Chains A and B, each alone.
Chain A
């Protein structure tokens, strides 16, 4: 936790200088992102890569992406506005028109990482995706699952997804300031980071990203609003950030293609 804060500060200082140029390089074709979505570049970069996504795009094969998540992957009654749908739209914009992108979503509400991982073999046989984005941790944190067991379950799940031949991106919990006193989040964030490092797979740090937006005042995540507007805006930004993240981790940028 604390580590991330200081790290953020340090990287923020470094990152502030560069992001303008970078954004310009990477996405010339994509429509300009709303100002509210702005993020320092370190939150969108990963040292781990997505070789299978890169190969598929290079070979012109369709890009099949599967998002496995719990309820925070969806907005009630507005599926088209949730981040997987937004990511699909942005990726289509960013990639050449010939490239087919299809995002499917598998919501496993109220399932812990262990329960979700048990379904992976069958799921992968049915869908055969190039890339799986696995959002998890929230249910485990709510139920206070033993963090070691959680790490074991995530490790098994990632292994199952990789064995089925897919690239994997892990996505951690939402930043939820209202429930901060009620849900102990840090152990789950830390363990997901560890698993991502051990398997050398990219971790999309949804928690840090949303906290950044809240701290910078782009979104007021304390808002008690009952309407779907805030959720839609946040998911739109998450979808953009995720698309950018996948794009960079698979080295699909124009600079990369020139090499």
Chain B
């Protein structure tokens, strides 16, 4: 417990110190937060765990992931919080250092994410090549056609570097890269007029739906997460971080909002239930079904977005910023993971690959499955702890020579 407390103590200090003296400068409505928003870390950590579990084959644990209880899932949480923290960190950088410096730092971050993506792709290549050479069951000659791209490694690798060739489960980071690339423009525009920026984002979202805009992928098809649609969540997160959340606080506190949110979540839960219990589906009005389906994940369906909003509204209402539970050791693993989300996200994708591999090579029983899920989460926690420890040590030794502002980079984005 003491160790964990120390870790947070240092993290808070790290981000807070540069913030406090300047938060008084009223250039734009940056929230005057002196303390790290632990709720963001908590839910981002949760999203990372859920994404990991969802990437493993179906098991009992899968039933604990939120996508089974409503329209939205962990991806929404991840992208929204990423928008929020990125705007928070780099918005401040833009105020303090100007547009050019902030842009440079954002681009450095984009580069980090890009390298992480390429790293994961390399692991994927190794895995698929292994299966291609070792696995020649005549039952699956057709499925081995997936290896065809190995015949043209030049094209495939270049397309992967261009983010156009993305294997299964490797869709989130490219989306994130594109969103971060747009962040300088978003922030610059937010500094000018936050509401107009949010409005433009909504317009882009609507235009994307109206004219069916998309990013094409290789060898065919399109990006599984359309950045032109998903930017809405990211920009909304940024807007909230830059004062929007505070201005909405009266709406969020109103009981009307609460009841609408509850009603919507219950309705969504019921609809989800009809997917699993088809006996219930005759209770669904045909008209509603025709209007509602398909609930599109690629283009961030409005139903998914509103479902996320409803969840967020309830969370903000019932989980206050100063809730003592946030400091409890039980939630520490989640918060730690959320604080190093890029590293832990990549680790999660890798662990999912490794988990598949073990299930295939050793055994695929339910016990093994549970063991893999559990140890995966423990490893994520352990690595997050080590990273925190390392940063604390590095910050201490570096503090004499280097301004602590550099630390904001680490706290943000990822």
B-binding residues in A (CB < 8 A): 1-3, 5-7, 10, 70-72, 75-76, 109-110, 138-139, 142-146, 174, 176-184, 214, 221-228, 230-231, 234-235
Q: Report B350-385 residues with CB < 8 Å from chain A CB.
A: 352-353, 356, 359-361, 364
Least CB distance from A5 to B in Å reads 6
Sample of 12 more A-B contacts, CB < 8 Å, known A143-B219, A181-B169, A181-B352? A70-B142, A71-B145, A72-B142, A110-B145, A180-B356, A181-B127, A181-B168, A224-B136, A226-B138, A230-B139, A231-B138, A234-B139
Residues of A within 8 A of B356 (CB): 180-181
B140 touches A176 (CB 8 A): yes
Least CB distance from A14 to B in Å reads 12
A-binding residues in B (CB < 8 A): 57-58, 62, 68, 124, 127-128, 131, 134-146, 148, 167-169, 217, 219-222, 275-278, 352-353, 356, 359-361, 364
Residues of A within 8 A of B127 (CB): 181
How many A-B residue pairs have C-beta atoms within 8 angstroms? Tell me.
Answer: 116
The verdict on A142 contacting B146 (CB below 8 Å), with A1-B58, A224-B135 known, is: yes
Residues of B within 8 A of A181 (CB): 124, 127, 167-169, 352-353, 356
B58 touches A5 (CB 8 A): yes
- Across the A-B interface, give the 5 residue pairs with the lowest CB-CB distance, nearest first: A71-B142, A231-B139, A72-B142, A231-B138, A176-B143
A178 touches B360 (CB 8 A): yes
A222 touches B221 (CB 8 A): no
The verdict on A2 contacting B62 (CB below 8 Å), with A71-B142, A76-B141 known, is: yes
Of all chain B residues, the one with the shortest Cβ separation from A77 is: B138
Interface centre among B140, B167, B169, B221 (most CB of A within 10 A): B140
Docked pose: A7 CA to B364 CA in angstroms: 21
Docked pose: A23 CA to B208 CA in angstroms: 54
Residues of A within 8 A of B220 (CB): 143-146
Docked pose: A5 CA to B137 CA in angstroms: 26
B137 touches A225 (CB 8 A): yes
Docked pose: A67 CA to B219 CA in angstroms: 29
A182 touches B276 (CB 8 A): no
Residues of A within 8 A of B353 (CB): 181
Q: Which of A2, A71, A225 contacts B68 (CB 8 A)?
A: A2
Least CB distance from A179 to B in Å reads 5
The verdict on A231 contacting B219 (CB below 8 Å), with A6-B276, A142-B146 known, is: no
Least CB distance from B147 to A in Å reads 9
Q: Which of B62, B146, B352, B360 contacts A177 (CB 8 A)?
A: B360
Least CB distance from A89 to B in Å reads 20
Docked pose: A146 CA to B214 CA in angstroms: 12
Least CB distance from B151 to A in Å reads 13
A138 touches B142 (CB 8 A): yes
